[in-house]
Structure 1
Amino acid sequence: MTSVTIIEERKNTIKNIVADILEIELEEMTETSRFQEDHNADSLRAIEILASLEKEFQIEIPQSELVKMNNLSGVYEVVKQNAGWDK
């Protein structure tokens, strides 16, 4: 598997988790659509997203990282950093 395929797979997994928790269709969400402003997410949903990502990827994400997790792009960066992925 190429690194591009692995990255896309990880991003798709994250997108599916987030869409499921926010109860929205995948097509409604872009890399930069904001969870709170564009998808009416509240802080409870943010914590649910964080917990689901920790479980899925077997990592720990400090709650202080929640401020960065306001869209898919931010979530991927936080997960990548905490999982130790180089890409």
Structure 2
Amino acid sequence: MSIEERNEEIKEMVCDILEIEEDEITETSLFKEDHDADSLRAIEILASLERNFKAKIPQDELVRMVNLKGIYEVVDQYVEA
């Protein structure tokens, strides 16, 4: 799977969890401020990433996972290509 394919899969997953359309989100739009996500949604995103990519991501990384760009960076760090 290429990085582009992985990022597209992440975007689809995040949109499903946040219950928004893919055209409503950008790499830098903030989940909490722009999309009304709460901390439970953040935990759900983290759990889905771990499940889908079979990786262990520390919960303290949630502070970086405020938008797609942050999630892509965290996944790059913890998921083997």
Which TM bucket (shorter chain)?
over 0.9
Distance in 1 of aligned mates of 2:57 and 2:8: 19
Gaps of 5+ in 1: none
TM-score, scaled relative to structure 2:
0.96
- CA deviation vs aligned residue, 1:40-81 (integer Å, no higher than 9, x gap): 000000000000000000001000000000000000100110
Question: 4+ runs of 1 displaced by more than 4 Å?
Answer: none
Aligned pairs, number: 81
Amino acid paired to 2:79: A
TM-score, scaled relative to structure 1:
0.90
Q: CA RMSD in A?
A: 1.1
User: Is residue 26 of structure 2 the alignment partner of residue 69 of structure 1?
Assistant: no
Partner of 2:11: 15
Distance in 1 of aligned mates of 2:30 and 2:48: 18
Distance in 1 of aligned mates of 2:38 and 2:63: 12
